[in-house]
Amino acid sequence: MVKRYSFGDVFQTDSIPVIPEAQTGAMPYMDVCESEMSLTYQMDPEDIVYGLGENVRGINKRGWIYESKCSDESKHLEDRRSLYAAHNFIVVDGRETFGLFIDYPGILTFDVGYTELSTLRITASDWNLDVYVIEGESAVEIIRTFRKLIGRSYIAPLWAFGNGQSRWGYVNAQDVRDVVRNHRENGIPLDMVYLDIDYMERFKDFTVNKERFPDFAEFVQEMKDQHIRLVPIIDAAVKEEKGYSVYDEGIEKGYFCTGADGKPFVGAVWPGRSLFTDMLNKEARDWFGDQYKVLLDQGIEGFWNDMNEPSIFYAEDRLADALASIADMRDGDQNLDLDAFTKFKNLVLDLSANPEDYKKFYHNVNGKRIRHDQVHNLYGYNMTRAAGEAFERLAPDKRILMFSRASCIGMHRYGGIWQGDNKSYWGHLLMNLKMMASLNMCGFLYTGADLGGFGSDTTEDLVMRWYALGIFTPLMRNHSEMGTRRQEVYRFTDLEGFKNIIGLRYKLLPYLYSEYMKAVLDDDLMFRPLAFDHPGDKRARTIEDQLYLGKELMIAPVYEQNARGRYVYLPERMKMLRFTRDGGMEETVLEKGDHYVEVPLSDVVFFLREGRLIPLSGGGQCVDDVDFENLAVVSFGENAEYEYYHDDGLSKDYENPVNRRVIRA
Ligand code: MIG
């Protein structure tokens, strides 16, 4: 059951497609304090608080304070309060079980026992918001009700479940060819190569550098002939440059956000001085979406949207002030004491991602001027919506791959997300796992993290362990930052090991795609905390380093350096499946309880539940190679059966009953 409580003058976010009638009575569960602009709940010691999608820390969000404030947050440190997203949905599970969604485009704080250990307090920056209270028998039921409310999640094409290789630093066609050749020659499956900002003409969206890619359409085709799709990046900001058609047109039509003086607001990003399309203005949004056509026409079928928090390196006027202050300092006393030095240093450090800059520009929503900071969390969402809505117009029968960095709930209907600039830290491998569950709760199913870690130098064992998780995530992509150690798997020593692990992804594809599609179509979770299936099991309620994947499997990746294995808790009897480096598979039945499981670096181990089976394909070098019809099965129990989802993976005939059939042992 869903109840909406409305306060003040609510901005229409379109997070929820069909808005239910507002309630008039008092809100259950939460103490509403309008003067403090907050909602408060006293938590029971046993309560778990789930949700918040993309954010730091655990699956149980208790013990920290989080902010919904889309930020270019490249460190993912434990002391941060937000990452790139604003996912305002939580479930309190315990003495009382209920869900809350705050439909609100500005900055929100979720203090989940930070200020006071047992107090949950949600605070808004102004009191214009809709609060949805969602009730149901269990956390799972509440989440399904919520997911139905927010509308069906974006569906990626089947090929996007292949292995993808990316690096900020593949600058021309030859670099891409080398990546593909190294995979193919070594027998490492590959379906996608991503193009980062260097493919563009001086970082101008919707252009391709002609020296680096002399005939782009031809190159796209050359790659497709090898079963490789190129996936270019699109940045949020548009370069200021007369003669660049996107800039000229946007200026002429008035489609960019404006400053207080009504003139286009200038901030700097990759190309230097840039403008920000008014994604909240429908006409401007349609126009921006139409720009993707240039690349679609050259054979591109997928994109990733970046820097759409939006990330701003510096605002023009702040830079001018900083330079003036530095000039003053230069001319004055250069003996800087602590205070003076701090001030000096911060003049430069505070230029980037300065929240004050979000107060300097405006959107035009149906003729009304709205200051950006009040609707900040809707920007990335509406950039991706621009693309998603355009794809419906430009290629209505085709699935286009789309994922974004910034997001809020609502965007899940138009694209997936990747988990942003993580680092090559072991802790970020574990965070990748945890976030899968929280993101699924908020409607983001096509997701994954940069395998091997984006920032910092990685190591072979970290990359290998990370793949042993990444083969299960819908978005499977190795991506790294310019200047860091190269981390394509063929750069390392144990190629056989990598081949085994990545090869297993392709054997599991019939299962993974099936579970993904069923989760989307049934408003269900693909990845679940153990507690959801064992609400009465106290151990299961605390476990955050193992997850259920669909109804059949439990995964428990190794996430510690030099570990030879790990402890795994089985909330019930299960069959352990071990895939070894020689391509073999071992099956061992384990009883309920704790087990130390050895996991050599190149093995993949996971667990099959009793009475279930999973299909396995024969694998392949690309998704096109995989035979989704002639399947082997692995089962645990005699009467096991499986609901298998299979379609062409390209078109949109999702509801066709022939797509679902039952497989028996
Ligand atoms: O500030 O395009 O998260 O994946 O490689 C860096 C360069 C800008 C951030 C993205 C990252 C990408 C990088 N971009």
Q: Could you list the beta-strand ranges (E) of 77-118.
A: 85-86, 89-93, 98-103, 108-112
Q: Which two tokens stand for residue 365?
A: 């929503």
Q: Encode pLDDT of 128-161 as tens digits.
A: 999 999 999 999 999 999 999 999 999 999 999 9
- 480 CA distance to ligand 1 middle (Å): 9
Q: What's the pLDDT score for residue 150?
A: 98
DSSP labels, 516-576: HHHHHHTT--SEE-GGGT-TT-TTGGG--S-EEETTTEEE----STT-SEEEEEESS-EEE
Conformation bin of residue 187: beta by default, left when phi > 0, alpha when psi is -120 to 50? left
Q: Tell me which of 165, 167, 196, 428 to substitute to probe ligand 1's pocket, judged by most ligand atoms within 8 Å of the beta carbon.
A: 196
Nearest CA owner, ligand 1 atom 5: 168
Q: What is the helix (H) or strand (E) element at residue 194, kind and residue range?
A: strand 192-195
- Which numbered atom of ligand 1 lies nearest the CA of 450? 4
Q: What's the pLDDT score for residue 344?
A: 87
Sign of CA dihedral 327, 328, 333, 337: negative
Q: What's the pLDDT score for residue 341?
A: 87
Residue 93 has pLDDT above 80, yes or no: yes
Please give the residue that has the higher pLDDT: either 119 or 320: 119
Q: Tell me which of 168, 195, 204, 314 to substitute to probe ligand 1's pocket, judged by most ligand atoms within 8 Å of the beta carbon.
A: 168
Q: Which two tokens stand for residue 297?
A: 């026409």
For residue 146, what are the contacts with CB-CB under 8 A and spacing of at least 6?
A: 2, 89, 99, 101, 132, 134, 441
Q: What is the helix (H) or strand (E) element at residue 174, kind and residue range?
A: helix 173-186
CA 56/CA 434 separation, integer angstroms: 9
- Which numbered atom of ligand 1 lies nearest the CA of 74? 3
- 305 CA distance to ligand 1 middle (Å): 10
Q: Average pLDDT for residues 450-466, to the nearest whole number?
A: 98
Q: Tell me which of 203, 306, 424, 478 to substitute to probe ligand 1's pocket, judged by most ligand atoms within 8 Å of the beta carbon.
A: 306
- Which numbered atom of ligand 1 lies nearest the CA of 479? 4
Q: What's the pLDDT score for residue 21?
A: 97
Conformation bin of residue 316: beta by default, left when phi > 0, alpha when psi is -120 to 50? alpha
Q: Tell me which of 233, 309, 451, 456 to substitute to probe ligand 1's pocket, judged by most ligand atoms within 8 Å of the beta carbon.
A: 233
C-beta of residue 401 within 8 angstroms of C-beta of residue 234:
no
- 196 CA distance to ligand 1 middle (Å): 8
- Which numbered atom of ligand 1 lies nearest the CA of 304? 4
- 377 CA distance to ligand 1 middle (Å): 19
65: β partners: 111
Q: What is the helix (H) or strand (E) element at residue 461, kind and residue range?
A: helix 460-470
Closest of 557, 544, 641 to residue 607, by C-alpha: 557
Q: What percent of the chain has pLDDT over 90?
A: 93
Residue 195 has pLDDT above 80, yes or no: yes
Q: What's the pLDDT score for residue 17?
A: 98
- Which numbered atom of ligand 1 lies nearest the CA of 235? 2
Closest of 376, 385, 550, 420 to residue 472, by C-alpha: 550
Residue 406 has pLDDT above 90, yes or no: yes
Query: How big is the CA angle at 223 (ends 219 and 224), to the nearest 5 degrees?
Result: 115
Q: Encode pLDDT of 226-278 as tens digits.
A: 999 999 999 999 999 999 999 999 999 999 999 999 999 999 888 899 999 99
CA 664/CA 292 separation, integer angstroms: 44
CB atoms within 10 A of CB 397: 9
Q: Average pLDDT for residues 586-596, to the nearest whole number?
A: 98
Specify the range with the lowest mean pLDDT, choosing from 99-103, 199-203, 267-271: 267-271
Q: What's the pLDDT score for residue 331?
A: 80
Q: Sorting pLDDT into bands at 50, 70 and 90, what band is 316?
A: confident
Nearest CA owner, ligand 1 atom 13: 168
- 421 CA distance to ligand 1 middle (Å): 7
Sign of CA dihedral 376, 378, 384, 385: negative
- Which numbered atom of ligand 1 lies nearest the CA of 454? 4
- 601 CA distance to ligand 1 middle (Å): 30
Q: Sorting pLDDT into bands at 50, 70 and 90, what band is 326?
A: confident
Sign of CA dihedral 85, 546, 612, 91: negative
- 412 CA distance to ligand 1 middle (Å): 21
Q: Average pLDDT for residues 183-200, to the nearest whole number?
A: 98
- 48 CA distance to ligand 1 middle (Å): 34
- 636 CA distance to ligand 1 middle (Å): 44
Q: What's the pLDDT score for residue 328?
A: 85
Q: What's the pLDDT score for residue 354?
A: 87
Q: Mean pLDDT for the chain?
A: 97
Q: Sorting pLDDT into bands at 50, 70 and 90, what band is 665?
A: confident
Residue 5 has pLDDT above 90, yes or no: yes
Residue 477 has pLDDT above 90, yes or no: yes
The pocket around ligand 1, CB under 6 angstroms, is made up of 168, 196-197, 233, 306-307, 405, 420-421, 479
Please give the residue that has the higher pLDDT: either 354 or 30: 30
b/e for 99-118, b at 16 or more Cβ within 10 A?
bbbbbbbbbbbbbbbbeeee
Q: Encode pLDDT of 542-571 as tens digits.
A: 999 999 999 999 999 999 999 999 999 999
Q: Sorting pLDDT into bands at 50, 70 and 90, what band is 336?
A: confident
Nearest CA owner, ligand 1 atom 8: 307
- 278 CA distance to ligand 1 middle (Å): 22
- Which numbered atom of ligand 1 lies nearest the CA of 482? 5
Residue 327 has pLDDT above 90, yes or no: no
Q: Average pLDDT for residues 657-662, to the nearest whole number?
A: 97
CB atoms within 10 A of CB 158: 22
Q: Average pLDDT for residues 645-657, to the nearest whole number?
A: 97
- 128 CA distance to ligand 1 middle (Å): 34
Specify the range with the lowest mean pLDDT, choosing from 19-33, 347-361, 419-433, 615-629: 347-361
Q: Sorting pLDDT into bands at 50, 70 and 90, what band is 330?
A: confident
- 619 CA distance to ligand 1 middle (Å): 32
- 269 CA distance to ligand 1 middle (Å): 11
Diameter of the chain by CA atoms? 85
238: β partners: 275
Residue 352 has pLDDT above 90, yes or no: no
Round the CA-based radius of gyration of the chain to a whole number and report it: 25
Q: What's the pLDDT score for residue 23?
A: 97
Q: Encode pLDDT of 271-291 as tens digits.
A: 899 999 999 999 999 999 999
Q: What is the helix (H) or strand (E) element at residue 642, kind and residue range?
A: strand 641-645
Q: What's the pLDDT score for residue 355?
A: 87
- Which numbered atom of ligand 1 lies nearest the CA of 168? 5
Q: What's the pLDDT score for residue 408?
A: 98
Q: How far is CA 183 from the centre of its chain?
A: 26
C-beta of residue 167 within 8 angstroms of C-beta of residue 139:
no
CA 195/CA 164 separation, integer angstroms: 11
